[in-house]
Amino acid sequence: MKQVRPLLLVTNDDGISAPGIRALIAVMSEIGDVVVVAPDKPQSAMGHAITINSTLYLNKISKENDTITEYSCSGTPVDCVKLAVNEILKRKPDLCVSGVNHGSNSSINVIYSGTMSAAVEAGIAALPIVGLVAFLIGVILSFQAAIGMQQFGAVSFVGPLAALGIVREMGPLITAILLAGRSSAAFAAEIGTMTVNSEVDALVSGGLSPIRFLVVPRVLAGILVAPILTLFADIVSIFSSMLTMLIYGIPFVNFYNGMLSAVDIEDILSGLLKATLFGVVVSAMGCLRGMQTGTGAAAVGISATRAVVSSIVMIVIVDGIFAFISYKTGF
């Protein structure tokens, strides 16, 4: 059986002719099938901007027999990602790598950076898979709880219990695991590519801190994206649980009232705080494994795999610590 290579989307904010993206393409092509969609000119500090008042132009600059397909776009980095995901690619990319950036993406610059916004846009592209998994989790959790509660004539309590479990535990946990498979691997691959190309060593030689320029922006991105995706997952899971309980004769109104009696603002904040910690863990582990990348063509792929495994292990450990603290403090 022929092994299918992963589909990799490469973009940046410095333009398709920038040296950084050329180096990134060379390394990514050894890992999977690369499709490049990048701005036709530098688009630094565009943040999450999209083009709305002018015509977007997309030009295919690679030849028909080229192994790597490349497009230049007249828009912003986020325009590039949107066009790639929605128009160019026949399926969702397995990994989106944005960079290698020319200049700083640290501190407050993370808000304006086109490179970081392209990465965040790829994270937003995770909404469909997060929504699907969250929907199924809500259905499964409700069905399993209802089977047990039905024996005691307490099916009406399934809704409040499911909502509480989703908000405090399942929503943050499932979202974090999905982020580990996407963002952590992406961070490890991007920083790993820079490590293989000695760009991290160049930063150190220039008196610049790799932690400040490479790690901090990505951790901030994880802190921003994780709670948003978790809140989305909570809403979808609770909605699917409400639909499931209709089968057992529990109307929406009864489910909603029971949920309000069981779930308060502290439970929601607890789940979002946990999601934020998971975002830090996922981002940090991806950056760490990227920094630890060795030499050779397979090194980046190995680092990406280690990042996913390490992130999931750390998520479970942090979840256990958080559960113990919640037990002791009641939060």
Residues 93 and 239 in one domain: no
Residues 136 and 262 in one domain: yes
Residues 203 and 282 in one domain: yes
Q: Choose the final residue of a domain: 108, 142, 171.
A: 108
DSSP state of 156: G
DSSP H or E segment with residue 33: strand 33-39
Does 320 score more than 60 pLDDT?
A: yes
- Phi first, then psi: give them for residue 6, nearest 5 degrees: -65, 150
Alpha helices in 14-150 (DSSP H): 19-28, 77-83, 109-112, 114-124, 127-150
Residue tagged 């929907």 (tokens): 135
Does 297 score more than 80 pLDDT?
A: no
Higher pLDDT, 145 or 104: 145
Question: Would you say residue 121 lies in a domain?
Answer: no
Instruction: Look at strands 33-39 and 58-60 and give their pairing.
Output: unpaired
Residues 180 and 300 in one domain: yes
Q: Choose the final residue of a domain: 108, 137, 171.
A: 108
Question: Would you say residue 122 lies in a domain?
Answer: no
Residues 100 and 131 in one domain: no
Question: Would you say residue 117 lies in a domain?
Answer: no
CA within 13 Å, CB half, 223? 10
Question: Would you say residue 164 lies in a domain?
Answer: yes
d(CA 120, CA 225): 7
At 33-75, the pLDDT tens digits run 899 999 988 876 555 677 887 888 899 998 888 889 999 999 8
Residues 143 and 79 in one domain: no
Instruction: Report the CATH number that the domain containing residue 36 is assigned in CATH.
Output: 3.40.1210.10
Domain with 178 in it: 127-329
Question: Would you say residue 79 lies in a domain?
Answer: yes
Question: Would you say residue 102 lies in a domain?
Answer: yes
- pLDDT (mean) for 145-163: 84
Distances (CA, A) of 88 to 37, 183, 189, 266: 9, 22, 23, 44
Question: Would you say residue 49 lies in a domain?
Answer: yes
Per-residue pLDDT, 113: 56
- Which of 137-151, 208-222, 262-276, 312-326 is predicted with the least confidence, judged by mean pLDDT? 208-222
Question: Would you say residue 98 lies in a domain?
Answer: yes
Q: What is the pTM (predicted TM-score) of this model?
A: 0.64
Residues 152 and 193 in one domain: yes
Residues 240 and 318 in one domain: yes
d(CA 165, CA 167): 6
Per-residue pLDDT, 234: 92
Residues 258 and 324 in one domain: yes
At 217-275, the pLDDT tens digits run 788 888 888 898 999 999 999 999 999 988 888 888 888 888 888 888 888 998 999 99
DSSP state of 12: -
Residues 151 and 222 in one domain: yes
- Which of 146-155, 250-259, 304-313 is predicted with the least confidence, judged by mean pLDDT? 146-155
At 127-136, the pLDDT tens digits run 788 889 999 9
Per-residue pLDDT, 1: 46
Q: Choose the final residue of a domain: 79, 108, 137.
A: 108
Closest CA relative to residue 233, chosen from 176, 308, 314, 161 = 176
Residues 48 and 134 in one domain: no
List, in order, residues 6 or more apart from 110 with CB less than 8 Å away: 116, 216, 217, 220, 221
**Tally of domains in the chain:** 2
Residues 95 and 141 in one domain: no
